[in-house]
Structure 1
């Protein structure tokens, strides 16, 4: 059998906060991702066609391996042979579904017989319902599972060399979060952004908490940023096993995630503190949410005069609170490839043989009657999300306990009064619209209809500049 070797990146994992930090190094992780689609980001049709051609060539030349014999327990052990002393030698097995080894053994039987998945098997054995999930075979399509199993070296990297958690409900949530619902072979994950897990999250309305998966050309498939698949496509009788080098922990709250990344969100956190926004959010009862979180770069892009007005004046604080409310979609969790909520998205195929798919969402916000739109344009393995046909989501799918974080590089604002409504159909473009350039009067014009503001005249340029000097 031929292998594709990838360099391993072993790192310690603290439960739970460091795992969240690793998951949410959003922009830096996103920029590090090598995409086989190259010029797609530029939004031109030629770039899309070129990207599709490139990935097809890459798959044919780099991954067209063959292996006809069946998986055995020895095979499962072999994929981490020597892992205890040399993680960098971990191989990635043939990632073409249907050409890898297969077995008549169940997922549970394979991991429980392996010498390198003993720690995770011990966790599974504490929960008979999970054992049943991993041990049950069915002929019904769509009922198989994908197990992202941490190898024993993943546990050895934890503080003290073990998972120091005794609460059964927490342990079960961790175990279930490693189980994907459905068959997700390695090549399938090239065109998958999130995978539903066997852990149902009450704060998502009981829906399956999702795993973020992304293919990085240099490292393979990462799960929630910190986990890397080091051995792929062990086909069991009831699904697929992928070996991962880290424990994958269910995510924490959106607010907690943001607070762990001040280098990205310190301005947003300051805005929340100055408007007592956390208290406001605690008063809301939500089943999931989507937070279009403006990065520090996004706030900087509005300029010193606008920021001075927002942060340094009593009147501006009203608009700052309105801005924060507009960034949150309540009771709807919009991932780049999935949706939890009541709204019905409009989905339409695109050109190039239907490879492109476009989805359009028209959604409420926490700012009164103000709504926003989201357009998702996708080809297998890549997607662009646009808010209000103008603001691009720079880093997608920061999964959270109570929703999802979509990081935006520009602050999202309502359209100007009198502007034509966003089209009730998927957008046609790949790139963003005109870059947002905002002034204090325009900010007031956009947010004013939703703010209790006794002043009808925007601050003069001189007053705005004077406030800016206080920054």
Structure 2
């Protein structure tokens, strides 16, 4: 996947912006994935792997969530760790992984995690937390520690020169709440960390975890679990091959993946939506982000109108407002926001769980999000028909849910037609019928003859 120049990637390794590398590597490039799979099998080559990706413009593939369930039964969990680093005090031959040691004692006694131990030692409170068991304190809670091996830090030059607050946030972001052994992670989408994010209303920033065929479980798209399931006296430890850093803002995340979002970024800039959103104070958000392919599906007429005319730019901003839910962060398996928006719990949820959110948008009319889940597999639909193609792009101030079509509000009640019918938007007239009530439209512009500045499908 060739979406970043060498300079862009190199600059991204400076903390805190290093998070963009490990948060939103979203493009599904099978050719790049084939090279990446071969490169990540041995942790001792992790630094060279990162250099190779920079030099070649490659990035690991992120398969669709809809492929996940097809792979689960074929996975040999033990085999995943046979060629990967071994925690010397605990494991012999890669088999025995249970210990009476605490999480902190495990990493402190390993030769593979000295960098992380040095980092966590700066924060005695966190050392105490990872050393405390329920025998010591009945009120203690177990944790899951995603510990970067030493070679992972080589990809982040200057990490130890950051502020104390940044370093503490990095440590906290590697600690998940609760016991999450490897098999449980197969049925998990996001994990709350010990890092509380003020721009999420003080809620825990979450880690995205997903199973990917041939690669195992990945954390925040880029970090791979390379040595799983060390059961400690107070939780579970998984070794990962990359440092995960608390994510940056939604807009910054999008800007690092232009082969998915260059059209959206152009729309934000051209319509002054970026300036508009910067003037708001939000506690979290959900961004239904159309991919480049989604904009292409609108066709040349609509793209020419939206991107090439002053009148169309008003409608373009209205579309972006409708795609943004303020003060509510909807993950595939969690929700941050007003309790009035939380769906009522089912009396008997059963194997299949269904949630329906009706959410306010910046435009005014609400948008619906339906979440249907079985263990390890979730489908998210917007307004009952638009699929969330890539779920749970965690961000500092919300979550990015990539949609495969541009989302339009339902027909206003004043427009004749059945409320159960949602006809497609194919022409400028269709677009005006949908968004006209929310746009100050003088109707003076002519539609551009050709989509000269319209977005190009780069997928």
- The alignment's TM-score, normalised by the length of structure 1, stands at 0.78
C-alpha contact (below 8 Å) 1:119/1:155 kept by paired residues: yes
C-alpha contact (below 8 Å) 2:22/2:223 kept by paired residues: no
Give the drift of 1:36.
4.7
Give the drift of 1:22.
4.2
1:391–1:36: structure 2 CA closer, same or farther, 3 Å change rule?
Answer: closer
2:46 aligned partner: none
2:433 aligned partner: 445
C-alpha contact (below 8 Å) 1:275/1:321 kept by paired residues: yes
2:3 aligned partner: none
The Cα offsets for residues 33-88 of structure 1, whole Å up to 9 and x where unpaired, read as 783524xxxxxxxxxxxxxxx84x547xx4589xxxxxx97344768xxxxxxxxx
Distance 2:267 2:27 in 1: 20
**Of 369, 374, 381, which aligns to 1:379?**
374
2:297 aligned partner: 301
Aligned length: 399
Distance 2:353 2:314 in 1: 39
C-alpha contact (below 8 Å) 2:65/2:377 kept by paired residues: no
1:334 aligned partner: 330
The Cα offsets for residues 307-338 of structure 1, whole Å up to 9 and x where unpaired, read as 11111112111111100100100000000111
The Cα offsets for residues 260-290 of structure 1, whole Å up to 9 and x where unpaired, read as 2222111111111112212111111110000
C-alpha contact (below 8 Å) 2:18/2:245 kept by paired residues: no
Distance 2:140 2:303 in 1: 50
**Of 88, 96, 99, which aligns to 1:74?**
88
1:69 aligned partner: none
2:351 aligned partner: 355
Give the drift of 1:242.
0.5
Q: What RMSD over aligned residues (CA atoms) do the two structures have, in Å? A: 2.9
Distance 2:147 2:67 in 1: 25
What secondary structure does 2:112 align onto?
Answer: coil
1:402–1:151: structure 2 CA closer, same or farther, 3 Å change rule?
Answer: same
1:466 aligned partner: 449
What secondary structure does 2:204 align onto?
Answer: strand
Distance 1:326 1:172 in 2: 36
For structure 1, the residue ranges without an aligned partner over 5 or more in a row are 1-10, 39-53, 66-71, 80-92, 95-99, 423-432
Matched, 1:414 2:412: no
Give the drift of 1:136.
1.3
Give the drift of 1:104.
2.0
For structure 2, the residue ranges without an aligned partner over 5 or more in a row are 1-8, 29-60, 80-85, 455-459
1:171 aligned partner: 167
1:115 aligned partner: 111
Distance 1:379 1:358 in 2: 9
2:23 aligned partner: 23
**Of 283, 286, 291, which aligns to 1:290?**
286
1:421–1:170: structure 2 CA closer, same or farther, 3 Å change rule?
Answer: farther
- The alignment's TM-score, normalised by the length of structure 2, stands at 0.80
1:201–1:148: structure 2 CA closer, same or farther, 3 Å change rule?
Answer: same
Q: Which moved more, 1:12-21 or 1:248-257?
A: 12-21
Distance 2:418 2:160 in 1: 56
Matched, 1:129 2:136: no
**Of 298, 305, 308, which aligns to 1:312?**
308
C-alpha contact (below 8 Å) 2:309/2:448 kept by paired residues: no
C-alpha contact (below 8 Å) 1:349/1:358 kept by paired residues: no
1:150 aligned partner: 148
Distance 2:255 2:78 in 1: 44
Distance 2:155 2:302 in 1: 46
C-alpha contact (below 8 Å) 1:309/1:467 kept by paired residues: no
